[in-house]
């Protein structure tokens, strides 16, 4: 059986934009992640946000945003040394193939090259989104023990991971 194409990440370019906008998650995940049609234009307007595409070979299979300041996720300055990860998603048609794990590895590798000065990556995840929580914990994220109460679907866990 041939190996599946490598997963890589890159900033969303005009050539990738339409494919990113076409991404969607499963209906049961709608409460946990906003669609790129909402988050991509917001990221493009925000000087502290970098919209990123997840590619398998040349196909766009996912999307996320990197925030210059984790404050945009947590609402406080206690995470001033950290970048923020938000809107991480794999397209519904590609879920269940291990792409989330591989995409997080590519994302972390990319940040090591693109943002070598960054010490930590912070994210919030709805605590009832057990699949995503398990994915992040497998990728080396740690539960801070604090909750973020601004989530649409309820309280969210605040997770962090060292980038060094």
Structural domain of residue 102, as residue ranges? 7-162
Output 31 or 54, whichever has higher pLDDT: 54
- Domain count of the fold of the chain: 1
pLDDT digits (tens, 9 = 90+) for 35-73: 999 999 999 998 889 999 999 999 999 999 999 866 555
pLDDT at 31: 79
Neighbours of 49 (CB within 10 A): 21
Separation CA 16–CA 116 (nearest Å): 25
Determine if the pTM surpasses 0.85. yes
Q: Are 66 and 45 in contact (CB under 8 A)?
A: no
User: 62 in a domain, yes or no?
Assistant: yes
CATH code of residue 62: 3.40.630.30
User: 2 in a domain, yes or no?
Assistant: no
- Residue 79, pLDDT > 60, answer no
Task: For residues 114-138, give the mean pLDDT.
Answer: 91
Distances (CA, A) of 67 to 14, 15, 41, 118: 20, 22, 14, 11
The confidence band for 150, taking pLDDT boundaries of 50, 70 and 90, is low
């Amino acid at each position: 059986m041939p190996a599946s194409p490598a997963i890589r990440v890159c900033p969303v370019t005009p050539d990738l934009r339409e494919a990113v906008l076409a991404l969607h998650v499963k209906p049961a995940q709608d409460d946990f992640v906003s669609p790129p049609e909402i988050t991509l234009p917001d990221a493009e307007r925000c000087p502290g946000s970098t919209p990123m595409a997840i590619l398998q070979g040349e196909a766009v299979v996912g999307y996320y945003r990197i925030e210059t300041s984790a404050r945009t996720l947590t609402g406080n300055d206690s995470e001033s040394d950290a970048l923020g990860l938000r809107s991480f998603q794999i397209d519904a048609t590609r879920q269940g193939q291990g792409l989330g794990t591989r995409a997080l590895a590519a994302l972390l590798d990319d940040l090591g090259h693109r943002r070598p000065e960054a010490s930590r990556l912070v994210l919030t995840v709805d605590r009832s989104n057990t699949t995503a929580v398990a994915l992040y914990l497998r990728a080396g994220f740690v539960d801070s023990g604090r909750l973020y109460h601004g989530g649409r679907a309820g309280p969210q866990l605040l997770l962090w991971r060292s980038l060094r």
